[in-house]
Amino acid sequence: MTALDTRPDTMTHRFPADFRWGTATAAYQIEGAATEDGRTPSIWDTFSRTPGKVRNGDTGDIAADHYHRLSEDVALMRRLGVTDYRFSVAWPRVQPTGRGPAVQKGLDFYRRLVDELLEAGIRPVATLYHWDLPQELEDAGGWPQRETAQRFGEYAHIMAGALGDRVATWTTLNEPWCAAFLGYGNGVHAPGRTSALASLRAAHHFNLAHGLAVGALRSALGSGSEISLTLNLHAVRPNSQAPEDLDAARRIDAVGNRVFLDPVFHGTLPQDLIVDTAPVTDWSFVHDGDLATASAPIDSLGINYYSPTVVAAAPSAEPFTDPSPWAGAEQHVRFLPAPGPRTAMDWPVDANGLHELLLRLRDDLPGTPLVITENGAAYDDYADPSGEVKDPERVEYLHAHLAAVHRAIEDGADVRGYFLWSLLDNFEWAYGYSKRFGIVHVDFATQRRTLKDSARWYADVIERGGLEGRTGGGPR
C-alpha cells in the first residue's frame, strides 16, 4: 500500500515481495493482421478456414487486432499494474516458411512490443511456440517429422538474436500436449490429424525441439537469461483406490504428464508408456542422443492449470470408436465429471487440483522454480447497458486459485509467479469467439476494450501483494 493508503490491511494471503504478477496471451488468438507485412498462413489459419472445424466459422484473421492496437494494450497492462507480460511470437510472422532468413517487419512488431513493455516497466516473457506452425512445415510433414524440430531450433536462434538484449525470460513451447495430442491425435485442434502414431511422434519431436531451442538460446544469450518450458500438466485423480482405477490414473499420467516431464527433466522415456503404446509404436523414431538434447537444463517450469482430471477403469468390453488424444489409454480409461460448479467451457472449478499439482512438482522436481503461466476461466459475461462488465464468478475463481497457490508456497512449493489467462477476450481456438477468458472485454465489432470487474480486482491484488483486501479497486 502507498503511504496515503489508509485502507485496513485485512490480507490473509500475502505473497513474496518479488512475486511476479502477470497476464498472458497468444499470438494467433489476439494479433489479427493475418496477411500483413509478409506473414503467411499457420496451421491455425488453414484449420480455422476449413468448414466445420471452428464454431461459427470464426478465424483469427482479425481477432483482437492487437497488431494494430499494441500501444493501447500495453497501456491497459500498465493501468493494471502487472509486473510481467507473457506473449507468444507468431512463427510465420517472422519466418514465413519456417526456413531461411527472418522478415524484418515481423521482427519489428515484436521489437516495438518489447520496447513499449520495458518503457511501461513491464517485464517481457516471450513464448516461441503457441501452436502456430507455419503451414509450409506442416505440408512437409509437421511435428511428426524430425525436421520440424530442427527448424524450430533455427527459429529460436533468430529470435534470440532479435530480442535477446531486451527479453530476459524465454519459454520454448506452450502446452506441447495439446499441440501433439489434440492436433495429431483426435484432431480437434490444428492441423486436425487423427493418428495415435502421429501424436506420439509429435510429442517426441516437441521434446527434441525444446532441447534444440534451449541450446540455441543458451549459445546466443549466455547464462543471464531465464529459459523455461510451459506444460499443461494434468492433475489426475483416480475415482477410487481400487487397483484398476489406480492403473487408469497411471496411464493418463504417463501419456498426459510424464511423456514430457521424464525426457525434459530426467533424459528418459516412461517405461510404462512404452509398454502401454506397444500396439501403436516401438518408439524407433527416438534417435541416439535425442533424450540428452531434450534434457538440457532449464531455469523454471511453467504450469498451465484450469481443472482436475478424474478417471476410472473402463469396462473391458467397452469399445472405443472415436479418435483419441490418449494413445495407449483410450480403451482402458473412463473420464468422469468432477463435482462442483462449472465454467462456460463446462470445466469443473476445483482450485485444490492446482494445490495438489504444485505439491507433486515440489516433490518430483526439487530445486525447480515453478511459475503459473496460465490460469483463468471463461464465463458468459457481457457489457451491461451502462457499459460495465460484471464477472463475479471469475473473481471467485481467481481468488480461490490464487489462495491455492499461496497455500502451496506455504507448503514448500517454490512458486515464483502467476500469469492470469487472459488479458483480452480473444479467439478461443475451436470455440472461436464464443468463449471469453479475458479480464478485459473486447467488443469484436468495434474492438473497444472495457475493463471487467475482475481486472479491477486483479489490479487491487497486485497493488497490495495479496488476497483478502478490498475488492472493486484499481484503475477505472
Which positions are catalytic?
175, 374
In this structure, the number of other CB atoms found within 10 A of the CB of residue 286 comes to: 20
Under 8 Å between Cβ of 161 and 102: no
Residue type, 166: R
**Alpha-carbon gap, residue 140 to 430, rounded angstroms:** 24
Going 138 to 58 to 327 to 132, the CA torsion angle's sign is: positive
Place of cell 531451442: 213
Q: State phi, psi for 463 to the nearest 5 degrees.
A: -60, -40
3-state secondary structure of 416: strand
Going 65 to 67 to 70 to 76, the CA torsion angle's sign is: positive
Within 413-471, residue ranges assigned H as helices are 453-464
Q: In 3D, which of 32, 18, 100, 20 has the Cα closest to residue 69?
A: 32
According to DSSP, the β-strands at 236-238 and 333-336 are unpaired
For the chain, how big is the Rg over CA atoms in Å? 21
**Alpha-carbon gap, residue 456 to 452, rounded angstroms:** 7
> What number of residues does the chain have?
476
In this structure, the number of other CB atoms found within 10 A of the CB of residue 464 comes to: 20
**Alpha-carbon gap, residue 211 to 455, rounded angstroms:** 36
**Cα three-residue angle 389-390-394, rounded to 5 degrees:** 115
Under 8 Å between Cβ of 352 and 403: no
Find how far residue 237's CA is from the centre of its chain: 22
**Alpha-carbon gap, residue 167 to 308, rounded angstroms:** 33
Residues pairing with 312 in the sheet: 334
Residue type, 112: R
**Alpha-carbon gap, residue 427 to 436, rounded angstroms:** 9
